[in-house]
Amino acid sequence: MALDRFFRRRRPQQQPGADVPELWTQCPQCKESIYNRDLLSNAYVCPKCGHHLRLGAAQRVDVLLDEGSFTPLSGKVRPVDALNFHDTEAYTDRLRRAQAKTGRPDAILTGSGTLLNLPVTLAVMDFAFSGGSMGSVVGEEISRAAEFAAEHGTPLLIVTASGGARMQESALSLMQMAKTTVALETLAEAGLPYVSILSDPTTGGVTASFATIADVIVAEPGALIGFAGPRVIQQTIRQHLPEGFQRAEFLLDHGMVDAVVDRREQRPYLANLLGLLTKYEASA
Amino acid sequence: MTGSPEALRELEARVRDLEATAERTGQNLDASISPLRQEVQRLREASGPLSRWERVQLARAPGRPTALDYVDRLCTGFTELHGDRRFGDDPALIGGPARWMGVPVMLLLQQKGRDTKTKIKRRFGSANPEGYRKAVRLMDLAEKFGLPVVALVDTQGAYPGLEAEERGQGWAIAESIRRMLSLRVPVVCAVIGEGGSGGALAVGVGNRVLIQENAWYSVISPEGAASIIWKDASKAPLAAEALKLTAPDLLDLGIVEEVIPEPTGGAHLNPEEAAAAVGEAVGRHLAELMAQSPQELKKGRAARFRALGAFTET
């Protein structure tokens, strides 16, 4: 009876060919089915359990910036297979698949916009593209975003979501850790704030470079954040890892991040913080 | 497969002896030396180029000189300074002032250990956050006293431990990279064995980055890559090929400025000769950099790393 009503109510809203998963999302934590419209209006946080779902780069921009204010910066930098890397498949095939899946050249989206009327430069990593891994393109786009912010006198926000440096570009990926640091130093010399927002997951070479040299480090609730992955650590120490190890709240306890901020509170939190650091008076 | 490295080494030794005699006595011994040189060349070519995995084996060969083995041979007055002033002292990443072939420098050394006991104590050269924080402290001293920095890189990677994570391993590495980039003194880095990932780069941000002929440098160890790709660490030889992690590869990619030659068969077979080559190369780059202004040194290093990467633009 209840099931019958469920279907009858939903069916008229369906577009021809649309199927159930496009209307509902199951929370990976509490397994509750959430109506996508509710998820959208709740910044992709589960209304039942508060779990912060992983976001694509475009969704992240929508959640953070004022509606319609976003202007993409570059997006023209494309990856190349400098090493002719082959493992179980060619790197070029992996890239093509990730590009088709996400509709972007690589695991990064950068642009400018406003956050409660405050002009900002934003870089967002896309975990859906090859696990948000950092290769030459991610390094270059992050660097350009930092330099753009320095040139235009805006604060920089970087939202991280990454398994670390990209294996398929080997030492070239590794060097992006230093390269992004160079560009962020340009921003620092201009006296402009850089805030990183660490989302689930942020590990490896991203944690060991631009993510953690921000002026202020914000983490999302429950996000896994660390240098070595939990599996590698487990193999090294051969002990059970404690509950909550490498989670945002654990890092706050250990003095590694400035705040754990609920995604629904991030806009006012960041606007206030950046306003204070830049002595900006909101014109609203 | 690799011919007879012993025969080749013997021949090379004879060539060196004859060259030394000629030098000492002023005699012209070319007639005797030339055929031997040709034979050396022939044997080298017959043994064929080493595979990438063979080079990784050489980088890890028992008896390969460690950072302190080079310091013992090349430096005087090395004064090890301990501790990060916050938590502890890390025996995997050590350092202090010394004279490098006479030139006062600040040494940063990734030290693996020479026997089982010291290898364990030094965690095989895998540093904890304290190591990187001590490195930053020593860089501060180098800057203050105008000492060039010489870093010898030799690690499979930063230590992946529970406590390392609690104390901010990623944060410590990032800070070390940032500090090294900001230095206004010359920085010469040499990868002398293994250059594993961010743990190596943390002290690898030089105006010049050199690598020994049989050392490797990569975003991940071959074993690490193999366990991710094939879920099987024993596929490391395949991963080594894919990662293009050898000295000649890195020279091609523009990651390093120079490959430092090693004695035939690897540095472990003739540590004296290996040390002489490392000493000469590092000394030469130091001398060049010491002619630059503090501003040029900082800007040049930043520009070097800002330019690294491979991409196209539409």
Q: What pLDDT score was predicted for residue A282?
A: 60
Residues A38, A152, single domain; the answer is: no
| Residue A256 touches partner B, C-beta closer than 8 Å | yes
| Residue B158 touches partner A, C-beta closer than 8 Å | yes
**What integer is the mean pLDDT of A121-137?**
97
Residues A36, A115, single domain; the answer is: no
**What integer is the mean pLDDT of A99-108?**
96
| Residue B305 touches partner A, C-beta closer than 8 Å | yes
Residues A229, A273, single domain; the answer is: yes
Instruction: Look at phi and psi of residue A153 and say left if phi exceeds 0, alpha if psi is from -120 to 50, else beta.
Output: left
- Confidence (pTM): 0.90
| Residue B295 touches partner A, C-beta closer than 8 Å | no
Does residue A257 fall inside a structural domain?
yes
Q: Choose the closest CB to B306 out of A179, A233, A246.
A: A179
Do the beta carbons of residue B192 and residue B214 sit within 8 Å? Answer: no
Q: What pLDDT score was predicted for residue A21?
A: 56
Residue-number span of the structural domain to which A25 is assigned: 1-53
Q: pLDDT-derived band of residue B11, with 50, 70 and 90 as boundaries?
A: confident
Q: Choose the closest CB to A228 out of B160, B177, B217.
A: B160
The minimum CA-CA distance between A12 and chain B, rounded to whole Å, is 44
Q: What pLDDT score was predicted for residue B31?
A: 86
Does residue A283 fall inside a structural domain?
no
The minimum CA-CA distance between A90 and chain B, rounded to whole Å, is 10
Residues A71, A10, single domain; the answer is: no
| Residue B133 touches partner A, C-beta closer than 8 Å | no
| Nearest chain A residue (CA) to B253 | A172
The minimum CA-CA distance between A136 and chain B, rounded to whole Å, is 5
Residues A250, A115, single domain; the answer is: yes
Flag if B161 and A237 touch (Cβ within 8 Å).
Answer: yes
pLDDT (tens digit per residue) in B15-51: 888 888 888 888 888 888 888 877 877 777 677 789 9
SS3 B313: strand
Tokens coding B36: 């031997």
* Interface mutation vs chain A, best among B162, B311, B312, B313, most A CBs within 10 Å: B311
List of chain A residues whose C-beta atoms are within 8 Å of the C-beta of residue B178: 181, 185, 213
In whole angstroms, give the CA distance from residue B276 to residue B290.
21
pLDDT (tens digit per residue) in B144-170: 999 999 999 999 999 999 999 999 999
| Residue A254 touches partner B, C-beta closer than 8 Å | yes
Residues 6+ apart with CB under 8 A from B20: none
For residue A190, is pLDDT > 90?
yes
Do the beta carbons of residue B136 and residue B176 sit within 8 Å? Answer: yes
Flag if A212 and B250 touch (Cβ within 8 Å).
Answer: no
Q: Choose the closest CB to A183 out of B167, B219, B306.
A: B306
For β-strands B93-100 and B75-76, DSSP reports them as antiparallel
| Residue A23 touches partner B, C-beta closer than 8 Å | no
pLDDT (tens digit per residue) in A45-69: 999 999 999 999 999 999 999 999 9
Do the beta carbons of residue B259 and residue A117 sit within 8 Å? Answer: no
- Cα torsion through A127, A133, A139, A144, rounded to 10: -10
What is the 8-class DSSP label of residue A73? Answer: -
Last residue of a domain, one of A12, A37, A53: A53
How many Cβ contacts (< 8 angstroms) between chains A and B?
184
List of chain B residues whose C-beta atoms are within 8 Å of the C-beta of residue A139: 309
% of chain A exceeding 90 in pLDDT:
83
Sign of the dihedral through C-alpha A11, A16, A20, A22: negative
Q: pLDDT-derived band of residue A283, with 50, 70 and 90 as boundaries?
A: low
* Interface mutation vs chain B, best among A95, A106, A143, A182, most B CBs within 10 Å: A182
How many C-beta atoms lie closer than 10 Å to residue A209's C-beta? Answer: 30
Does residue A128 fall inside a structural domain?
yes
SS3 A274: helix
Least-confidence region, from A26-40, B41-55, B229-243: B41-55
Nearest Cα to Cα of residue B245 among B300, B305, B303, B200: B200
Do the beta carbons of residue B313 and residue A144 sit within 8 Å? Answer: no
Q: Is the peptide bond before A72 cis (omega within 30 degrees of 0)?
A: no
List of chain A residues whose C-beta atoms are within 8 Å of the C-beta of residue B160: 227-228, 232-233, 236
Residues A207, A241, single domain; the answer is: yes
Q: pLDDT-derived band of residue B307, with 50, 70 and 90 as boundaries?
A: very high
Does residue A90 fall inside a structural domain?
yes
Per the structure, the count of domains in chain A is 2
The minimum CA-CA distance between A37 and chain B, rounded to whole Å, is 36
The minimum CA-CA distance between A236 and chain B, rounded to whole Å, is 7
Percent composition of chain B: helix, strand, coil (DSSP 3-state, to 5) = 55, 15, 30
In whole angstroms, give the CA distance from residue B232 to residue B122.
27
Does residue A284 fall inside a structural domain?
no
For residue A224, is pLDDT > 60?
yes
> What's the length of chain A?
284
φ/ψ of residue B107, rounded to 5: -95, 135
For β-strands B93-100 and B103-110, DSSP reports them as antiparallel
| Residue A228 touches partner B, C-beta closer than 8 Å | yes
Residues A33, A86, single domain; the answer is: no
How many C-beta atoms lie closer than 10 Å to residue A15's C-beta? Answer: 8
Residues A213, A232, single domain; the answer is: yes
What is the 8-class DSSP label of residue B306? Answer: H
Q: pLDDT-derived band of residue B207, with 50, 70 and 90 as boundaries?
A: very high
| Residue A190 touches partner B, C-beta closer than 8 Å | no
What is the domain-level CATH number for residue A233? Answer: 3.90.226.10
Residues A35, A175, single domain; the answer is: no
| Residue B225 touches partner A, C-beta closer than 8 Å | yes
Flag if A208 and B162 touch (Cβ within 8 Å).
Answer: no
Residues A71, A192, single domain; the answer is: yes
Does residue A273 fall inside a structural domain?
yes
Does residue A251 fall inside a structural domain?
yes
| Nearest chain A residue (CA) to B306 | A179
Tokens coding B49: 């180029």
For residue B121, is pLDDT > 90?
yes
Residues A36, A131, single domain; the answer is: no
Does residue A229 fall inside a structural domain?
yes
List of chain A residues whose C-beta atoms are within 8 Å of the C-beta of residue B305: 175, 178-179, 181-182
Residues A43, A135, single domain; the answer is: no
| ipTM attached to this prediction | 0.91
